[in-house]
Amino acid sequence: MSTTRKLGATFAALALAVGASLGTVALGAGAADASRPGVHARSVLPAVGHYQGRDGHNRHITFSYDGHAIHNVRANGHLLVTRASVSGAQVHHTCDHSTRKCVRGHWFNDHTFQGTWNDPNQGHESYFQAHYIP
């Protein structure tokens, strides 16, 4: 084998080894990122207490959180949902059989809840944001 071919084979082997190493590093970083929901992922610890805010139609939204569920979700004083369980920092879509209204949402940070309430019979949703009131 000529010197040129030997150098070419050595260079190819070296390039392959470097490429494989970089691929492993990139895969490792991707695997770590895949375990997190987002680049800015962080733990949220919802504050227990009372919340108030506004929906997309400027209605006053209020509710309380006891560490397990949100209670008495109201829009302009009208009861929407009596109780909706909280899982981590999220409220899955929950409907109240007596009011026929539904709510869902999540805590954006420890003191801010972003959600949606709706009347399934009307076919539209109203987005809201509520903040912890110390």
Give per-residue pLDDT as tens, 33-52: 334 444 355 799 999 999 99
Q: Would you tell me how many other CB atoms lie within 10 Å of the CB of residue 101?
A: 21
Residue 9 is predicted with a pLDDT of 54
Burial of 30 (0-12, 13-18, 19+ CB in 10 A): exposed
> In this structure, what token pair is assigned to residue 5?
């071919």
Domain ranges of the chain: 1-41, 49-133
pTM of the complete model: 0.69
Residue 116 is predicted with a pLDDT of 98
pLDDT less than 70: residues of the chain? 1-41
